[in-house]
Structure 1
Amino acid sequence: MHFWANVIGYQLVWFAIVISAARGQPLWGIAAAAAFITLQLRFSATRKADSRALLATFACGFLLDGALAATGWLHYASPLVSLPAPIWILALWLAFAMTLNHSMAFLQGKPVLAAALGGIGGPLAYLGAARGFDAVVFTSPAWHAIALLAIGWAIALATLAILTRRWAAEHPAARLQPEHVL
């Protein structure tokens, strides 16, 4: 999928999931994520690497958001089904996985940069979902959840950057396509 289609598609999914969860109708956002993932896989030159990224990213989301839910430091709108995190937040993680070999491919093999971006961007996304849409609520003191998010996202994105580089190496021709260039 083309670089900009991947960036814009993921952002649309983020808004669809967050807004639909905040309004108590998370299935709309989950459907948007499923459509994005399906289209991404359909047109991907790195389908096998993307599939592996889906599994690894799901594990990261399950662990991080599961820990936040278990501690009670973060409450989610529209819990629907919890595994222990709501299925809508896990769908968002899966949609995010579809950026790792495409619009976020520049992070592959750069775990320090990935950790920095994850440690900053992860908490900011949750703060945006909380303050802008009430999709998540930080409990007091909020800094506990923000610190866990920063650490968790830093570790997750660094790990995913290492893994996706390894998986993308199996598709050397695909790495040279324009969709992978900033």
Structure 2
Amino acid sequence: MNAWAEFVAYQSVWFVAVIAAGDGAWWPGALAAAAFVAAQVLFSRRRAGLAMLAGAALLAGAVVDGALALSGLARYAAAWPSPHSAPAWILGLWCAFATTLAGSLRLLQAHLGVATLLGLIGAPLAYLGAARGWGSIAFAEPAWRGLALLAAGWALALPALAWLARRLVQAPTAGAAGASV
């Protein structure tokens, strides 16, 4: 998939997930994310690697967002299957986002420090946007505690996923920046 088309498609999945969750529905986001991941895997030359990357992201999301929910530092709207774990729609977003690390965000594979900063700063900002724009997540006061947990979790998870993308999805003869999905 073209990098710009992938970027727009992922952003569309994000909006579907957070808007629907804010309206109390978990399944539109989970379905949109599953369709995005399936298309990414189907059209990849490294299907197994991309599927494993999505699986690793599922685990990372279960840990990071699960810890946030379990600790009570945040409450997710449309919290299916449980209010004490990461909801299906956010896990879908983790999987969908991870597949972009082999495509439109593949530059992060070679720049793990940038991936760390993006996780540290960008992820909490995205969650704040979802919280304030659509009410898909609510942070316990003071909100900085939940945001700090997210920042730390994403600062570890994003470079790890970028590194894993380089190992699992990169074509054997291509460089990291020019890797083909």
TM-score using structure 1 length: 0.91
CA distance in 1, matches of 2:94, 2:129: 16
1:1-182 aligned within 5 A: 1-82=1-82, 84-173=85-174, 176=178
For structure 1, the residue ranges without an aligned partner over 5 or more in a row are none
Is residue 46–residue 101 contact of structure 1 (8 Å, CA) maintained in 2? no
CA distance in 2, matches of 1:39, 1:2: 13
Q: State the shift of 1:173 in Å.
A: 4.9
CA distance in 2, matches of 1:30, 1:168: 23
Kindly provide the CA deviation profile for residues 69-113 of structure 1, in whole angstroms up to 9, marking residues without a partner as x. 011001000112137211111111111121110011000032211
Q: How large is the Cα RMSD of the aligned pairs?
A: 1.8
Which range moves more in the overlay, 123-132 or 73-82?
Answer: 73-82
CA distance in 1, matches of 2:39, 2:170: 22
CA distance in 2, matches of 1:28, 1:165: 30
Q: State the shift of 1:46 in Å.
A: 2.5
CA distance in 1, matches of 2:175, 2:57: 21
CA distance in 1, matches of 2:124, 2:118: 10
Equivalent AA in structure 2 for residue 128 of structure 1: G
Q: State the shift of 1:168 in Å.
A: 3.1
SS of the residue aligned with 1:62?
Answer: helix
CA distance in 1, matches of 2:170, 2:36: 24
Kindly provide the CA deviation profile for residues 11-60 of structure 1, in whole angstroms up to 9, marking residues without a partner as x. 00000000111111221121111111111111112322211211111111
CA distance in 2, matches of 1:165, 1:56: 13
Q: State the shift of 1:170 in Å.
A: 4.8
Kindly provide the CA deviation profile for residues 96-147 of structure 1, in whole angstroms up to 9, marking residues without a partner as x. 1211100110000322111011111110110000000000001111000111
Is residue 60–residue 156 contact of structure 1 (8 Å, CA) maintained in 2? yes
CA distance in 1, matches of 2:68, 2:23: 21
CA distance in 2, matches of 1:105, 1:128: 24
Which range moves more in the overlay, 142-151 or 31-40?
Answer: 31-40
CA distance in 2, matches of 1:168, 1:87: 25
Aligned residues: 179
CA distance in 1, matches of 2:145, 2:56: 25
Is residue 26–residue 87 contact of structure 2 (8 Å, CA) maintained in 1? no
CA distance in 1, matches of 2:94, 2:53: 10
The sequence identity of aligned pairs, in percent, is 46
